[in-house]
Structure 1
Amino acid sequence: MRAGFLRIITLLFILPGLSTVGQSRTENVVLITLDGMRWQEIFQGADKDILYRKKGVENVAEIESQFWDKDPLKRREKLLPFIWSEIATNGQIYGNRSLGNKVNVRNKFRFSYPGYNELLTGFPDKRINSNAKRNNPNQTVLEFLNKKIEYKDKVAAFASWDVFHYILNQQRSGVHVNAGNDTLKAQKLSARERFLNQLHKASPSPWSGTRFDKITHQYASEYFKNNKPKFLLIAYGETDEYAHHGNYSSYLKSANKTDAYIQEVWNWIQSDEQYRDKTTLVITTDHGRGNGRRSWRSHGVLQKGSNNTWFMIMGPDTQPLGEMKEKEHYYNNQLAKTIAGFLNLEYPVQGAYGEVIATAMEH
């Protein structure tokens, strides 16, 4: 009897990630993604080599006044003020490779659909090798949650990119997905919802299949307030679109706007009794990008740096350690199981999947 008890205690110390299951104070999770957002801007702010080149910056003086400082710590605060105040104070930020704290994707393709599959299922799948609109054969953590009685119809996703219908396999999973050209649909729309639908129709984006993030954000806001989901995914897409087009000024402005959107999301969370001090916020990206004046626009298997990513976590079960400076290595495929762990659930998947991020769950 005593020997068995000692073995259990020993396991709790050896496996801290597993010991958190059943102890979490988190009741809701909000997952936010910034498509193709580089770690360099997250941790160092505006990139001098790109900012002062002739192409890609419409008005250097304007961007310089908004986002430039010789000190990279001040630059990143100018670009992402909420992240480097609130989350850096009350959460954890992983992926500053300059400090040896590394985050990577494990999939070999290093672009969006494979990246989101890895993030949301917990493992890379070599069958997911394009951005084609094909239903994901794998179960995501959203589908896993939606199958449970306590989360049924309390799981939702709002995305700028229309491929999320397929990434989340909406037909099979039953998850509420609003993405791309979708408008809000209900038997009776509020005046605000009707206005947003009109705004969406009147604001076509220049990109095929991707709408402006302001539409995604506002749609998610209304759904959040009116339907009270227990798991909400918001996937912003502008940073990747502007990067592919080499528009660095718009890339920076979009990142800055998204930081403000994240602040609004956190304000929603903290203003509602269902969510306040009961919600974990997770923020990450699907892939990295190249480095330098030309390579920053691209990503993929042939582009060095495309597998370099980052993530942030803030909530009632996460110690306020701020920027993680230890020389450790993490992977995007760890986040699915970590999210389930926050909700006191063991996420079952097949294949080589990531384990719980123990440091994020030690409260």
Structure 2
Amino acid sequence: MRLLGLLIGVFLSCSTLAQPAQNLILVTLDGVRWQEIFNGADSTLLFDPVFSRDTASARKQFWASNPVERRKRLTPFLWNTVGQQGQLYGNRQLGSRLNVSNPHWFSYPGYNEILSGYADDRIKSNDKIDNPNVTVLEFLNQQPGFTGKVAVFSSWDVIEAAVNEKRSGIFASSANETIPLCTAPDSLLSDLTTLYPREFGDGVRADFLTYFTARQYVKQNQPRVLFLSFDETDDLAHAGRYLDHLRMVQSIDNYLSDLWKLVQTMPQYAGKTALLITTDHGRGHTPKARWKDHGTKTADSYQLWMAAMGPGVAATGEQKNGPVLFQNQLAATMAQLLGFTFKSDHPVGAPIETINRAR
């Protein structure tokens, strides 16, 4: 009887892990390095006034004597919630490796690879050209119960091309597009989107506006799949503004904490939603000024990180060792979390096997 009880317990445990999520939130932070995610602030940049205009403020806000404390200061939600309830990949110091498989190491090829599961060499620039590949979002939008329930909110306007809004029929709000006016908050968001200074040009919406516009949409429409794509982290890095870059990473972490608290109050989402967070590419690191750059001329900017939690994600925390994983595996992983097998007329990377398996 004791053996039977043990076997039943193991079966129930495996069954629980295998239960798919009913909703999915995908979040991307453009051009955020794994080094900051796993080690926190880089002292060589944080204490250099060339990159951090107020080093005293930078030290007070982000510095601690050990990397575990530093990373919690930078992204408390990621480490105190996702790190405890889910998984994190990409700490190369522990042998966990996640790489792009496209040969370019910059944004649009990375977003295509995340979304389509395919490193397509036809996408080799950041030009706003409609994606010829069917993405996992388009695939999900075609599944029963998901049609019209997939939404995209992005700060960078090229994302609406990456999801091929025209062909897929997915609702996509990018850059400085306003949303339909239904409520007073919608009107305020529309005014802010129109009037707020566009620091990085007309093709980029401020990340806080992207977040609050998406938040309002979630409250009103309750999409089953939400893609939330932030951009200013990359723009600030290219500008060499390390302290501002860290503050934006921390702000986005706060947005995700707020969003997660919100969805846990909504019956549509509470206990039924998987969250996956990643980036499109890495950045340079040696010499330190290479942090501003990425692409094939910048060593190691193919290196990525990823975090996930929710139904279907075993709570095994920071991952160690294991095989090299690739960006082209994320699309099939997202589909699998929702109980689907992502198939397309192009090759698709296999799901990450360790997502729902205890370590």
**Deviation readout 1:84-133 (Å, 9 max, x if unpaired):** 10111101000001111011100000111000000000010000000101
Partner of 1:220: 214
| Counterparts in 2 of 1:304 and 1:352: CA distance versus 1, 3 Å | farther
Does residue 249 of structure 1 match 2:243? yes
2:136 to 137, 141, 147: 141
**Deviation readout 1:170-218 (Å, 9 max, x if unpaired):** 11000000010101125xx200110111112221221121111000000
Does residue 348 of structure 1 match 2:307? no
Contact 1:165-1:177 within 8 A present in 2 as well: yes
Partner of 2:9: none
Partner of 1:16: none
Deviation at 1:24, TM superposition (A): 2.7
Partner of 2:324: 329
Counting matched residue pairs gives 342
Partner of 2:6: none
Contact 2:141-2:149 within 8 A present in 1 as well: yes
* CA distance, structure 2, for counterparts of residue 137 and residue 70 of structure 1: 48
Partner of 1:202: 195
Does residue 277 of structure 1 match 2:277? no
Deviation at 1:352, TM superposition (A): 3.9
**Deviation readout 1:228-257 (Å, 9 max, x if unpaired):** 100000001110010000000100000000
Residue identity in the other structure for 2:187: R
* CA distance, structure 2, for counterparts of residue 327 and residue 61 of structure 1: 40
Contact 2:133-2:346 within 8 A present in 1 as well: no
1:162 to 157, 161, 166: 157
1:290-329 residue pairs with structure 2 within 5 A?
290-292=284-286, 293-329=288-324
1:36-75 residue pairs with structure 2 within 5 A?
36-75=31-70
* CA distance, structure 2, for counterparts of residue 205 and residue 88 of structure 1: 34
* CA distance, structure 2, for counterparts of residue 343 and residue 256 of structure 1: 29
Contact 1:122-1:349 within 8 A present in 2 as well: no
2:178 to 183, 187, 190: 183
- 1:32 alignment partner, SS class: strand
Deviation at 1:288, TM superposition (A): 0.4
1:235 to 220, 225, 229: 229
Contact 1:246-1:297 within 8 A present in 2 as well: yes
Indicate the RMSD between aligned Cα atoms, in angstroms: 1.5
Flag structure 2 segments of 5+ consecutive residues without an equivalent: 1-13
Flag structure 1 segments of 5+ consecutive residues without an equivalent: 1-18
Partner of 2:100: 105
Partner of 1:81: 76
* CA distance, structure 2, for counterparts of residue 348 and residue 25 of structure 1: 18
- 1:33 alignment partner, SS class: strand
Deviation at 1:23, TM superposition (A): 4.6
Structure 1, 241-250 or 261-270: larger mean CA deviation:
261-270
Q: What is the TM-score when the length of structure 2 is the normalising length?
A: 0.92
**Deviation readout 1:28-78 (Å, 9 max, x if unpaired):** 000000000000000000001111223111100001000001201111011
Partner of 2:85: 90
Structure 1, 240-249 or 201-210: larger mean CA deviation:
201-210
* CA distance, structure 2, for counterparts of residue 340 and residue 327 of structure 1: 22
Residue identity in the other structure for 2:44: D
Partner of 1:171: 166
Deviation at 1:302, TM superposition (A): 1.3
* CA distance, structure 2, for counterparts of residue 86 and residue 211 of structure 1: 28
Q: What is the TM-score when the length of structure 1 is the normalising length?
A: 0.91
Structure 1, 272-281 or 327-336: larger mean CA deviation:
327-336
* CA distance, structure 2, for counterparts of residue 348 and residue 328 of structure 1: 23
Residue identity in the other structure for 2:53: E
Contact 2:46-2:55 within 8 A present in 1 as well: yes
* CA distance, structure 1, for counterparts of residue 112 and residue 238 of structure 2: 21
Contact 1:289-1:296 within 8 A present in 2 as well: yes
- 1:156 alignment partner, SS class: strand
**Deviation readout 1:1-21 (Å, 9 max, x if unpaired):** xxxxxxxxxxxxxxxxxx99x
1:18-37 residue pairs with structure 2 within 5 A?
23-37=18-32
**Which 4+ residue blocks in structure 1 deviate beyond 6 angstroms?**
none
* CA distance, structure 2, for counterparts of residue 24 and residue 279 of structure 1: 11
